[in-house]
C-alpha cells in the first residue's frame, strides 16, 4: 500500500479520535445543522463544539457554509455514516464476545 494512503488513513482516524467529534458526526448524520443546534444536541459548550468542528473541518470530514449570520455544517462524505455503523458493529461484536466469556466463567464458578 502506498505510504501516502497510509498517512491519510492515520490522519483521518486521528481526527476521529475524540468522543465529542464522534458525537458531532452522529448528529450531522441526521442532516445539516448550525453550531448552536450541534451544541444543544451534543449537550456541550459552544467553545468545545467549535474547537472540535475546526479539527473535523481541517481534515475535510465536515464542511461549513455561511447562511446569514450562521454557519451550517454537514458531512462532506455520507460514507462517514457507514463508518460509524461499522464501528458500532465492531463494538457490539466485542461486547458479545466479552459477555460470552463472562458467562462461561460464571458457569465454571457455579460448577465448582
DSSP per residue over the chain, as a string? --HHHHHHHHHHHHHH-SHHHHHHHHHHTT--EEHHHHHHHHT--HHHHHHHHHHHHHTTSEEEEEETTEEEEEES-THHHHHHHHHHHHHHHHHHHHHHHHHHHHHHHHH-
> Same structural domain for residues 55 and 11?
yes
> Same structural domain for residues 40 and 19?
yes
CATH (domain of 48): 1.10.10.10
> Same structural domain for residues 42 and 87?
no
> Same structural domain for residues 95 and 81?
yes
> Same structural domain for residues 106 and 53?
no
Q: What is the domain range of residue 98? A: 77-111
> Same structural domain for residues 81 and 69?
no
> Same structural domain for residues 13 and 67?
yes
Q: What is the pLDDT of residue 21?
A: 96
Q: What is the pLDDT of residue 111?
A: 64
> Same structural domain for residues 43 and 92?
no
> Same structural domain for residues 46 and 84?
no
Buried b (16+ CB within 10 A) or exposed e, 77-110: eeebeeeeeeeeeeeeeeeeeeeeeeeeeeeeee
The total of structural domains in the chain comes to 2
Q: Tell me if the pTM is above 0.95.
A: no
Which portions of the chain are predicted below pLDDT 70?
Answer: 1, 109, 111-112
Q: Report the alpha-carbon distance of residue 26 to residue 73 in Å, rounded.
A: 12
> Same structural domain for residues 19 and 62?
yes
> Same structural domain for residues 54 and 85?
no
Q: What is the pLDDT of residue 109?
A: 66
Amino acid at each position: 500500500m502506498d505510504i501516502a494512503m497510509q498517512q491519510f488513513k492515520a490522519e483521518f482516524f486521528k481526527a476521529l479520535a475524540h468522543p465529542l467529534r464522534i458525537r458531532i458526526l452522529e448528529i450531522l448524520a441526521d442532516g445539516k445543522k448550525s453550531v448552536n443546534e450541534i451544541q444543544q444536541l451534543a449537550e456541550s459548550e459552544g467553545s468545545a463544539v467549535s474547537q472540535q468542528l475546526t479539527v473535523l473541518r481541517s481534515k475535510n470530514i465536515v464542511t461549513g457554509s455561511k447562511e446569514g449570520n450562521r454557519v451550517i455544517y454537514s458531512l462532506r462524505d455520507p460514507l462517514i455514516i457507514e463508518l460509524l455503523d461499522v464501528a458500532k458493529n465492531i463494538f457490539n461484536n466485542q461486547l458479545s464476545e466479552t459477555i460470552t466469556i463472562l458467562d462461561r466463567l460464571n458457569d465454571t464458578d457455579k460448577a465448582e
